[in-house]
Amino acid sequence: MSKILDGKLIRQRILDSLKPRVEALTKSHRAPGLAVVLVGHDPGSEVYVRNKIKACAELGIHSEKITPPESVTTAELLAIVDGLNNNPEIDGILVQMPLPKQVDSRAVLEAVAADKDADGFHPTNVGHLVADRPGPRACTPAGVMELLRQYDIQVAGKNAVVVGRSDIVGKPMALMLLHANATVTICHSRTSNLAEVCRSADILVAAIGRAAYIRREFIKPGAVVIDVGMNRVPDPSAASGTRLIGDVAPVAMAEFSSYYTPVPGGVGPLTIAMLMSNTVALAERRLLS
């Protein structure tokens, strides 16, 4: 029978483990500081940022929210980031994606100081990930690895398939699994015989951004299925008129897997927990070294 990997439970364990570290920093120096830059009024982004600020408050992390208008220019955003880079009270900086079309997103992300990069997206930190050196890691895949670790799911020697090649999830996920001694295959929407490749996976990570794209013929019986997808689909029976569904067909995932992450409640809660973990680690590096 399939077992659910409870992201909410592991999230709370992570936050509980961070509390004494935050208290120690606050007592000896100051509270860790996280700045979040939220451009415009995208509803999804506003929810994410609100949850991040809430997690900071729960842990005693100092947080600042900067909210430039939708019309902001690249130069104006770069100036905001530069100010945060030079703010001694801030240890971690997060620029909430997506940014408006007129903004050079790459330039803004790369302007964040590598030692304040709470998201782990800066090229320097990506390089550290490739070389398996210490540094902030992309939060969602880092949360997946923590989930596997806490449920004692063996990764070494397993065949892992990652569906999706984004810089935010797919690529760093593949690298983290590789460093944990899995044999890793990266797939995407143009992969030939995608279902066949996925069916070879002992650990299947779906991060392709298409609702219920991974069906029963993609899943090897007994596989561990990690569904990173969060897709809003119409649902007239729901109060909001929509419901959240992952990249894996939920019934097939529950029927064929040995362990699986539900949507919602699986990977999602871990992303913010790992952001908090990155922020605390960055503060420790700055204040205790």
62 DSSP 8-state letter: E
Which among 52, 116, 158, 171 is annotated as catalytic?
A: 52
Q: Catalytic: 101?
A: no
Q: Strands 231-234, 242-245: parallel, antiparallel or unpaired by DSSP?
A: antiparallel
Q: Strands 183-187, 159-163: parallel, antiparallel or unpaired by DSSP?
A: parallel
Cis link prior to 264 (omega < 30° from 0)? Answer: yes
Which among 91, 117, 119, 247 is annotated as catalytic?
A: 119
Burial of residue 152, with CB atoms counted within 10 A of its CB: 0-12 exposed, 13-18 middle, 19 or more buried: exposed
Which among 91, 96, 158, 202 is annotated as catalytic?
A: 96
Residue 205 DSSP SS3: strand
Radius of gyration of the chain (CA): 19
Enter the tokens of residue 198: 């996925």
Secondary structure (DSSP) of 66-131: E---TT--HHHHHHHHHHHHT-TT--EEEEPSPPPTTS-HHHHHHHS-GGGBTTS-SHHHHHHHHT
Return the C-alpha torsion angle 141, 145, 150, 154, nearest 10: 150
| Spatial distance between the Cα atoms of 69 and 257, rounded to a whole number of angstroms | 45
Q: Catalytic: 119?
A: yes
Q: Catalytic: 52?
A: yes
φ, ψ at 123 (rounded to 5°): -55, -35
Burial of residue 186, with CB atoms counted within 10 A of its CB: 0-12 exposed, 13-18 middle, 19 or more buried: buried
φ, ψ at 214 (rounded to 5°): -90, 110
Active-site residues: which are they?
A: 52, 96, 119
